[in-house]
Structure 1
């Protein structure tokens, strides 16, 4: 699977890798939603640092997880999107519903 889930205190981090298209987005959504349900995090971070391609399924992935986090009183951060994916996010208006940040490489 192209998602690794980690927890740090009240934060759930989903590290996404590879391509996000309609074939793999469903599995990512299910894995993330199951973890949200089980640990009820205050913050969900979707780390796009390893994503090489994203179509509209990726936008749907973000929007659905934002809605889910809002339902439980949490927030969503989109971290480290590559430039070409950040442009897609900008065009789609993701910045209006989620914080987008770049974390320095350590």
Structure 2
């Protein structure tokens, strides 16, 4: 078995569609080989339902590389474009550390449990913070 098929066989995305939100449970290695699969499955579910929010349950993630982080950022951007909320839940310590080191931890709404994340995504979407300019002209 080659490395690519081995990685994708150990990776799963389970999508649960609800009335006004989606829960995507991710398990395995979120990396350059699997990030496109995650993006495609979430995007397909989003387009089929047009939910108010998306909860990403990351409790099963065992590894994450830069492509995995990139797909999370892409999903965040797309959620904002669609005026939808995105919340991450059950972040493993390794992923929490990566998000913190890269400065991305504050960009995401992070909750301890799926239930808390569901409450977060059902709230009205938060607008992007206003851009500040230097008034010292």
State TM-score, norm by structure 1. 0.91
Unaligned runs of 5+ in 2: 1-10, 115-137
Does 1:97 pair with 2:92?
A: no
Pairs aligned (count): 104
Distance in 1 of aligned mates of 2:103 and 2:56:
16
Structure possessing the higher radius of gyration over alpha carbons: 2
Structure 1 stretches (4+) deviating beyond 3 angstroms? none
**Larger RCO: Structure 1 or Structure 2 (Cα < 8 Å, ≥ 6 residues apart)?**
1
Shift of 1:73: 0.6
Unaligned runs of 5+ in 1: none
Does 1:57 pair with 2:54?
A: no
Q: Deviations over 1:11-69 (max 9, x none)?
A: 11110000001001111111111111111111111110000000111211111111111
Which of 70, 73, 93 is the equivalent residue of 2:80?
A: 70
Which residue is 2:7 aligned to? none
Distance in 1 of aligned mates of 2:59 and 2:44:
22
Does 1:23 pair with 2:33?
A: yes
Conserved in 1, the CA contact under 8 Å of 2:96 and 2:105?
no
Which residue is 1:40 aligned to? 50
State TM-score, norm by structure 2. 0.71
